[in-house]
Amino acid sequence: MSGPRVGSGGGSSLRRTDLLLFSDLRHDGRKPNEIRRLKIQMGCTASDAGSCLLSMGLTTVLARVVGPMEQRGGAQNNTSNSSQPQGSLEVTLGMAPYAPSSSDRRALNPNTDRRLLEQAHLLQKALGASVLLHLYPRSKIELSLYILEDDGGRLSAAINAGTLALIDAGIAMKDMVCACSAGEIQELVCVDVNKVEMEGGGVVMPVAIMPQRGTVVLAQCESRSSVEGLEAVLGAAMEGCQAVFEIMAGCVRERASVLLAARSGNVTIGTQ
């Protein structure tokens, strides 16, 4: 007795979504606990102190670091204060007009768009928790992030790209900051949700941690859920952060080995 035929002209057929559902796979073919493909290129710009081009699936972010540089203002001219003020981390977030996957192609102003300003503030808080700003008194570090493609999880991708750009610039940090999202999609807890899954409704929570310290520096949820549901989503997101950390750590080690080889004159470093 033959079963239903797939993609045949006659008889019953199964759609691709049905096949994925029967196989416990998501619509893009990933398992529930599987993150999207992560592609990283550190030192992609020659004019900045540090840079990183990072892609999580179809979401791509370019991060650039300038500094440390002299911080001008009242704090610098205040010589009566014996203690040196610590440095500051300034984060700006922009988006290319062609980045959204929807038909909306309006250019968003990073200085006025509420959503970009809110996410830039979250980025500053998450990354500022790890940067050792007291080692840069009366100095500022400028981190610029630009979203080139947005297929969901842009906050997580921006945190990961910003972390690697800061490391590429030689900025002292307590630990790497790794981010990943998780969500409850059709009563199934999934890691690293994309735009289609986010638009389907349900609980979505981006999480950022310092993996070697086991510290959560960011956990944002804008949906209502039970305590058990939030705990399951948070646990899945932290597992995703650990998977991202392993890839990022390997990239940092590879970048360090290239720089050490270049220092000894064995290779030549160039941007691609």
Reported as a single tens digit per residue, the pLDDT across 179-198 is: 999 988 877 888 999 888 88
- Distances from the Cα of 5 to the Cα of 18, 123, 187, angstroms: 13, 49, 29
The pLDDT, as a whole number, for residue 167 is: 96
Q: Flag whether pLDDT at 107 surpasses 70.
A: no
Kindly report the pTM of this predicted structure. Answer: 0.83
Helices 227-263 and 154-168 pack at an angle, to 10 degrees, of: 30
Report angle CA 163, 45, 266 to the nearest 5 degrees.
95
The fraction of the chain above a pLDDT of 90, given in percent, is: 49
Q: Please list the residues that pair with 206 across neighbouring strands.
A: 181
19-37 CB burial, b ≥16 within 10 A, e <16: eeeeeeebeeebeeebbbe
Residue 80: the pLDDT is: 40
Rounded Cα distance between 28 and 20, Å, is 9
| C-alpha separations of 218 from 164, 172, 215, 226, 269 in Å | 17, 20, 9, 19, 35
* pLDDT, tens digit, 9 for 90 and up, residues 238-259: 999 999 999 999 999 999 998 8
